[in-house]
Amino acid sequence: MSRVTSILIFIAAYFSIISCEEEYIPESVFDEPEIVVEGYLESGPNALPPYILLTKSFPYTESFGPDKIAELFVHDAEVTISDGANTSTLTEFCLADLDNIFPGLKAAALQAIGFGNINGIENIDLCIYVDLPAIIGLSSLDLKEGGSYNLTIQADGKTITSKTTIPYHVPLDTLYYANHQNYPENDSLVEFRGRFQDPLNEANYYRIFTQRNRETMYAGGTRGNSGSVSDDKIFNGQAFEFVIQRGQSFTSGDFDIDTYGYFSRGDTVTIRAASLDYEHFRFWQTLEYNDGSQGPFGSYTRIESNIEGGLGIWGGLSYDDYTLIVPK
């Protein structure tokens, strides 16, 4: 009896493996393109002006290449932001314009849409909507911690709305570096640690960014956390210390899994500690969880959005930057 059972289990396992190797093409439920919004408000040192990227969704069963990128951007939209008392109409700029006006905004836009490390992307007409007066510090919007901001977009005959807040910033109390866990074997690498006091009886949401030397600033991570964002459920109202993992692009040519998350001796390191509201937090939490659960046994997670009439995120954040030089 046991031999028969073993044979049946083997046959079931065999056909299970064979079935995993068959190509599966799910049915498409794509009716028509939706407008995808990615927009941000910042309060902090050297904050970027408010900006919005508008693109269109496309079926995941279609092939995607450089010739498709330019077709995805939504042009000639009417984009306005209101703080309740004042309203600002954003201006559409393309990458060639941003080079001359605000180079930092160009880098942020490229990174936001995932093209920060692609050569030749300058030849594609990528455009964003910017609060032009804010570039020279003359925005009519009162951008401040505790403020609430409404977004309205008129594009392709559709009206899209959203609302976000800029929460009060929770600062770091301490930032320092320590030897690599395998010191002295890895004596050229260090890890960064931060400590702060979480406010009592408030739900707070955080996101961490890192910059090494003059490289692009990337969303980082904390050890034990699967992404760049976290809430305070396990340390509400407590002093909390955490390990900061260096953020970097997985598609860059210098990516090395052996040094991932660490900094090198001699680096100038900037840590950006940001506070964001719940909807903004949930967008990144679900997006990063979905990115990290790919593969043959991965499970799909629906990415949460605060956009009415479209997809994406309209998010505010407050932050401060902390810079430390690691001696060689």
The 10s digit of each residue's pLDDT in 63-90 is: 666 667 778 889 999 999 999 999 999 9
Which pLDDT score, from 0 to 100, does residue 62 have? Answer: 65
Tokens coding 27: 């049915």
* Tens-place pLDDT, residues 183-231: 999 999 999 999 999 998 789 999 999 999 998 899 998 876 668 999 9
314, 90 in Cβ contact below 8 A?
A: no
249, 184 in Cβ contact below 8 A?
A: no
129, 90 in Cβ contact below 8 A?
A: yes
Which pLDDT band, with edges at 50, 70 and 90, does 300 fall under?
low
Closest CA to 306 of 168, 196, 158, 149: 149
Return d(Cα 195, Cα 269) in angstroms, integer: 16
Which pLDDT score, from 0 to 100, does residue 272 have? Answer: 97
Helix (H, G, I), strand (E, B) or coil at 320: strand
- Sequence-distant (≥ 6) Cβ neighbours of residue 34 within 8 angstroms: 56, 57, 310, 311
Q: Which whole number is the average pLDDT over 22-35?
A: 63
Q: Which whole number is the average pLDDT over 273-283?
A: 97
Q: Which whole number is the average pLDDT over 4-8?
A: 40
Which pLDDT score, from 0 to 100, does residue 94 have? Answer: 81
Return d(Cα 244, Cα 254) in angstroms, integer: 20
* Tens-place pLDDT, residues 111-134: 665 555 555 555 666 788 999 899
Which pLDDT band, with edges at 50, 70 and 90, does 19 fall under?
very low
Which pLDDT band, with edges at 50, 70 and 90, does 160 fall under?
very high
Percent over 70 (pLDDT), the chain: 74
Q: 94 or 171: which carries more pLDDT confidence? A: 171
Tokens coding 30: 């794509």
Return d(Cα 131, Cα 90) in angstroms, integer: 5
- What's the angle, vertex CA 289, arms to CA 74 and CA 61, rounded to 5? 50
* Mean model confidence pLDDT for the chain: 83
pTM, two decimals, is 0.82
pLDDT at 147 over 80: yes
15-29, 186-200, 228-242: which has the minimum mean pLDDT?
15-29
Over its C-alpha atoms, the chain yields an Rg (Å, rounded) of 23
57-61, 176-180, 213-217, 266-270: which has the minimum mean pLDDT?
57-61
pLDDT at 37 over 90: yes
Return d(Cα 269, Cα 188) in angstroms, integer: 15
Return d(Cα 100, Cα 97) in angstroms, integer: 6
